[in-house]
Structure 1
């Protein structure tokens, strides 16, 4: 199973980087080094959905993000770039996932994002870590001032050992796997070790049980010999908005929302890479379940 997961992780990374390219079963199976028949069965076993469903979902999620963020881009341009043959097919598929046509979604985004998450959650609830937080902009900014120290700074390249999680529920098991690997490599425990969660999907457009979160450990140098589900990941050097504070898990959504709000208020724009969290302490070791966290948004 470990080797299966390793190949599927590689395949998922390829799919998400090439949503506008040839993603036939034969091509994807070639990337994974399995026969098409075996690959299809293994992919479904590990991810819980068929390859075709996964590809369509990722395309629709990407289109939703473009509809919400790039409102000047024509809808036709968006769906053609993602391989949909016509507006009717795209609109019908989009509505299946988000409950409304692309044009209506664009008009109401991002206000509907939390509603989307609610309709897609299997049990009708949003996970505790990213629970819905409703408040005015003024209250949110006040909360930010009291709870987060925010600064814009240059950060160096970071070399990571990573394990992919599909969905929030898999994050803790992924960290356990990563720590077990690190113990074998004599990398854990050690002084000032840093754990980092890298978000490869947005909770605004991807259901919480499908979001890809990489559970990572900061290394002194690039990982040379990946093993099993542990692979190498690099966060490139650059400018980041960093919000630092001592918070509980229930505060995470507020931290992210307020940080992006602060970004907009100060006229910064997101760079095309992934946001992440750096943990400086363990909430399990705090009597009130608090931990010191840096919330990092890459910006131009």
Structure 2
């Protein structure tokens, strides 16, 4: 069997585990069961998973549960005790410690942040976000399509990064992007379309779920978001509600995309840096 075909089968087995974890996030972690999902010997499964995904099964489960908890805190009035229980913690105190360690503040204080946009007006205008203008060259990327809630796009990134890691395609400066085609306020969560993308060089070809495409270049307005991905919606709200009407810019016929400037597996959510790129027809100062 060709080497690439063997590797694809290996990656597919690990991806079945990632899908199983995401679909059974409320279940206890059973490594023997997960090894069976991957058709691996329990003696070798955990090592194969860790080397391909860059984190342990326990770390994946913890990260996904806390990510879901952050979204629940911002989007609902669900009691913290219930969120803690669903995240697999035996007490609210244990959940509060774990959440604060990862997100930089306890759950109640984190929930309170939804009252503000990504700046605090009480701090004055210097605290307001800044939009910069950039002219981008086209970006050649490998992409995996995701259909469903944007909060769950991580599955497509897991597929993409496992594929790239196994083929040693990571290179210094390669850009990680997310393309988002639909407005979550207008399209049902189950129908939202997005692409997880990794910049690749010429000569790399797609296979299976991996496709090769080009992200359009040209003028863009860029808003930097610092903080958890669960809070990105507030930056989008400010960009479209406050900045765009006053800017004189006109959006172009291309999807908005995010560029992720650090690794969510090794970076505390409060320190994550995301550049939101809004394609525009031309820079406002150049309009006639």
Which residue of structure 2 aligns with residue 184 of structure 1? 166
Which residue of structure 2 aligns with residue 251 of structure 1? 231
Deviation at 1:234, TM superposition (A): 1.1
**Distance in 1 of aligned mates of 2:169 and 2:71:** 31
Which residue of structure 2 aligns with residue 3 of structure 1? none
Q: Does 1:294 align with 2:275?
A: yes
- Structure 2: gaps of 5 or more residues: 1-68, 77-113, 282-288
Work out the number of aligned pairs and report it: 174
Deviation at 1:224, TM superposition (A): 4.8
Q: Does 1:266 align with 2:223?
A: no
Q: 2:182 aligns with which of 184, 193, 201?
A: 201
Which residue of structure 1 aligns with residue 195 of structure 2? 214
**Distance in 2 of aligned mates of 1:144 and 1:291:** 23
RMSD: 3.3
Which residue of structure 1 aligns with residue 25 of structure 2? none
Deviation at 1:289, TM superposition (A): 3.9
Which residue of structure 2 aligns with residue 80 of structure 1? none
Kept in 2, the 8 Å contact 1:244–1:293? The answer is: yes
Q: Which runs of 4+ in 1 moved over 6 A?
A: 136-144
Which residue of structure 2 aligns with residue 233 of structure 1? 213
Kept in 2, the 8 Å contact 1:147–1:246? The answer is: no
**Distance in 2 of aligned mates of 1:169 and 1:243:** 20
Relative to 1, partners in 2 of residues 1:151 and 1:232: Cα closer, same or farther, differing over 3 Å? Answer: same
Kept in 2, the 8 Å contact 1:162–1:216? The answer is: yes
Kept in 2, the 8 Å contact 1:147–1:245? The answer is: no
Q: 1:146 aligns with which of 120, 127, 141?
A: 127
Relative to 1, partners in 2 of residues 1:184 and 1:272: Cα closer, same or farther, differing over 3 Å? Answer: same
For residue 227 of structure 2, give the secondary structure of its aligned residue in structure 1.
Answer: strand
Relative to 1, partners in 2 of residues 1:255 and 1:162: Cα closer, same or farther, differing over 3 Å? Answer: same
**Distance in 1 of aligned mates of 2:209 and 2:125:** 37
Deviations 1:17-74 (A, max 9, x none): xxxxxxxxxxxxxxxxxxxxxxxxxxxxxxxxxxxxxxxxxxxxxxxxxxxxxxxxxx
